[in-house]
Structure 1
């Protein structure tokens, strides 16, 4: 892919495109748009040739605020700079909101994501968390998962 990547905040008009990339009946995008309306998060998407290629959430009320969460790049767009573009956009939004650091967590087994974040200037600060949560699988069924994550931070230039 060589077409330019456009990252912008999601709006209600994006709902159909966002829902097309998630498990059936999961309501993920709808839920994130509602949280965004409350001011708790900023939900953004990356577009390339008018196709949704990735999403990210900037959580403004997490335990480590602000926190970059739920970075996802469509498999067909991986390696094309989409994740980097989403991270850069999120960093700019955090600075605009008055923050001087950005946090994120990465599954301990997700070495590819850890390498991406380290390349982008994030560093692990030696804290690991374990979280159990419910999610909707690709068949629309509710499942439980436990995830162990390393926490990363990055100083932001204002």
Structure 2
């Protein structure tokens, strides 16, 4: 498998179909994103949608969000998903390494992400890449 990571700069039927297949693998309760929703991500200055391809096939994706706050530039990695048939082949690592490179080049002081404890392989990957667990609570308000 020869993985290529690229920044998505155009939403076409291939991207919509791929994310329609990938996002439910991340969260069964999340609906597949529409072309309009994906375009909103691309149009937002803080967001970067990264795609992992094996040849012409999209096998993974993630969203990198980089934003300034009073204490410096920050970055968040969100919605990392690798197709179940491509897991264990370095796709997640390649996506994360590219996101880290982009964030650091943008001046991010820190890069944060969250991962459920049940995602053991993902947690091992993040630790191997140098991420450390923080002593904090994550809160969510749902509208």
In structure 2, relative to structure 1, the CA distance for the partners of 1:66 and 1:28 (3 Å cut) is farther
Q: Which runs of 5+ in 1 are unaligned?
A: 135-158
What is the match of residue 37 of structure 1?
43
Cα RMSD for the two superposed structures:
2.6
Post-superposition offset of 1:53: 0.6
The structural deviation recorded for 1:29 is 5.6
Does the Cα contact within 8 Å between 1:42 and 1:58 map onto a contact in 2? yes
- Aligned-pair distance for 1:62? 9.1
Deviations 1:111-152 (A, max 9, x none): 222111011111001113143659xxxxxxxxxxxxxxxxxx
Task: Please list every run of 5 or more consecutive structure 2 residues that lacks an aligned counterpart in the other structure.
Answer: 25-30
**1:150 alignment counterpart:** none
The TM-score with structure 2 as length reference comes to 0.78
Counterpart position of 2:135: 126
* Runs of at least 4 residues off by over 4 Å: none
Shift of 1:34: 1.5
1:53 aligns with 2:59: yes
Kept in 1, the 8 Å contact 2:66–2:108? The answer is no
Once the two structures are superposed, the pairs formed by residues 141-156 of structure 1 within 5 Å of their partners are none
Q: Render the CA deviation track for 1:80-137: whole Å, top value 9, x for unaligned.
A: 1000000010011001211132111112332222111011111001113143659xxx
User: Equivalent residue for 1:139?
Assistant: none
Distance 1:48 1:117, change over 3 A: same
- Closer, same or farther in 2 for the Cα pair 1:131/1:107, shift >3 Å? farther
Q: Output the TM-score relative to the length of structure 1.
A: 0.71
Q: What is the alpha-carbon distance in structure 2 between the residues aligned to residue 29 and residue 82 of structure 1?
A: 24
Matched, 1:27 2:33: yes
Moved more, 86-95 or 55-64: 55-64
Give the paired residue count.
Answer: 131
